[in-house]
Amino acid sequence: MSEIIIDPKRRVELPATMEGKTVLIAGAAGFVPSNVAEFYLKLGAKVIGLDNFITGSRINVTLLSKYEKFEFHECNVYESLPDFSNTKIDYILSLASPASPIDFAKIPLEIMRVNSEGTMKLLELAKEKGARFLEASTSEVYGDPEIHPQKEDYVGHVNPIGPRSCYDEAKRFAEAMTMSYHRKYGVDTRIIRIFNTYGPRMRPNDGRVIPNFINQALKNEDLTVYGDGTQTRSFCFVSDLVNAIHNVLFSFDPTPFNIGNPDEYTVIDTARFIIDALGSKSKIVHLPLPKDDPKRRRPVLDKLQAISDYKPQVSFKDGIEKTAKYFQEHGMDY
């Protein structure tokens, strides 16, 4: 591994306002992207959202549409983009990819295409507009890591033909595409590697640990733990993740940044914590561990924290309670 050298003197310079700026967000109807979109709308930016609703929610678009500066286009970014020939675009955020394990078996080709053809179309638009481009990659590029915790200079341990490869390898390709546009054409690019994130607007039937456990606990159903539950995850509340994205967008470094929360929990302890936090009568049952499921996940955030004031603010207890309340209010049809 080559050591990543950070110059702490080149600190992030966050704008006080985004008035007069236009942010294009691919995947705006999704969980994280809709939260990012609202963040920039509140800062005064015009936000253009794109989504084909393959996993995104129309409810999220309705929520964003209450802002006068929100514009939405229903489209498939790997097929074609709207005509933006007369539109000024300052920032393009590539956040369109489905990210849940339940999607890997259902829509693997769509996941691969949005992260390859879709990423290229968005990069071409960034090149044309002179816009800053941010690629939302993932901790999945580390695969089932052989080092722990994970730093940005770790190149990963990924099965290229496994059941998760449609996502893992597609995101690795998207990172390579982003850096290629940066090197060949001078596109102003940023890359984030998102670790496990949860919070309001997440699909209740997403299939990931937190929504699974919360919905089972709310119904007093058995919580299903895969394997013996000793595998670990690091969970970041969505508002903290949005702040991390904002810091990276306004950094000066085109190479990848880990973003998330470094607090690490075993899956079995997470299940117990959620049962206690929600006062549930649920019990825990065990099912076989899926193939290539990562055994340990925790981000090293030294790179981002060396150049910014980023630090997660929302406690796990508060985050779980806020997410559970949201699921209770919106039900399983969200």
Residues noted as catalytic: 167
Here the tokens at position 317 are 């207890």
The SS3 assignment for 188 reads coil
Nearest-angstrom CA–CA distance, 273 and 275: 6
**How far, CA to CA in Å, does 122 sit from each of 69, 80, 130, 189, 230?**
21, 10, 12, 12, 40
Q: For residue 169, what is the enclosing H or E element?
A: helix 165-185
DSSP 83-95: --TT----EEEE-
Q: How many Cβ atoms from other residues are within 10 Å of residue 87's Cβ? A: 14
User: What phi and psi values does residue 124 have, to the nearest 5 degrees?
Assistant: -60, -40
Nearest to 81 by CA among 40, 118, 136: 118
- Residue 315's CB: how many other CB atoms inside 10 A? 12
Concatenating the DSSP letter of every residue in 303-333 gives HHHHHS-----S-HHHHHHHHHHHHHHHGGG
Triad 298, 55, 172: Cα angle to 5° = 45
> Is 143 within 8 Å of 294 (Cβ atoms)?
yes
3-state secondary structure of 117: helix
Q: Taking Cα atoms as reference points, which of 175, 298, 197, 190 lies closest to residue 241? A: 197
Are the C-beta atoms of residues 245 and 259 closer than 8 Å to each other? yes
Question: What is 216-227 written as a DSSP string?
Answer: HHHTTPPEEEET
Token pair 């985050």 is found at 319
DSSP state, residue 228: T
